[in-house]
Chain A
């Protein structure tokens, strides 16, 4: 079974530029998550989708970050304009159900490492 796919793996941009990340979850997984992992910290949830609807985006900086999952499968996360403090690894995860419990394990992709100069 294929895992969660993410691209690109690495991205370097100048501040105030825009960037987009792509995620393809495990086939059949209804729930998709985007996390931000700053160096030396644990992952922090940015947004959670159930199919193509948003479940939780309370920690998404909506003035510069946006995400969509139009067909309920793959997803894109965009930052526009980027700031220095956005340098982090952006992780995508998916789960079959509502996530987190013993029957709804979250599976993580390899992440995209963003460096903002």
Chain B
């Protein structure tokens, strides 16, 4: 079945450091790819998305490029802030065979801790 693999955390960085969180996937067909963020005490929020190969999703300084050849969707940010401290989830979405309804499959999440 479809699956998502993320690097384990926590990732600990100083403010203004460069961030990379690795994500690879296994899927049949051509899934859409997502990064969700979960701040302490809050629900999941969609951070960015990409629907086809070579698409780049971006939001709030974060970027990720859909790489079909390496089945990857790594999250990057050039300069992190303390407020970016959260748990980041990579996810894929693909349609179910008979109904067309989409199903989200999540990775295990990567906790990011940014210190001043």
Chain A residues with CB under 8 Å of chain B are 3-4, 31, 40-45, 48, 50, 55-56, 91, 93, 98-102, 104-106, 108-111
Chain A residues whose CB sits within 8 angstroms of the CB of B45 once the complex forms: 108
- How many chain B residues touch A (Cβ–Cβ < 8 Å)? 27
Least CB distance from A18 to B in Å reads 25
Instruction: Decide if B32 touches A100 in the complex (CB within 8 Å).
Output: yes
Interface of B is mostly: strand
Instruction: Decide if B106 touches A42 in the complex (CB within 8 Å).
Output: yes
Smallest CB-CB separation from B89: which chain A residue?
A42
User: In the docked arrangement, what's the CA distance between A105 and B46, Å?
Assistant: 8
Smallest CB-CB separation from A104: which chain B residue?
B102
Instruction: Decide if B49 touches A91 in the complex (CB within 8 Å).
Output: no
Interface of A is mostly: loop
Instruction: Decide if B101 touches A45 in the complex (CB within 8 Å).
Output: no
Chain B residues whose CB sits within 8 angstroms of the CB of A93 once the complex forms: 44
Chain B residues with CB under 8 Å of chain A are 4, 32, 36, 41-46, 49, 51, 89, 91, 93-96, 99-104, 106-109
User: In the docked arrangement, what's the CA distance between A4 and B43, Å?
Assistant: 9
Chain B residues whose CB sits within 8 angstroms of the CB of A40 once the complex forms: 108-109
Q: A56-B96, A100-B32 are in contact. Are A43 and B101 (CB under 8 A)?
A: no
Excluding A42-B91, A42-B106, A101-B51, 20 further A-B contacts by CB distance (< 8 Å) are A41-B108, A41-B109, A42-B108, A43-B106, A48-B101, A48-B103, A55-B101, A56-B101, A91-B44, A98-B101, A98-B102, A99-B93, A99-B104, A100-B104, A102-B49, A106-B104, A108-B36, A108-B43, A108-B45, A110-B42
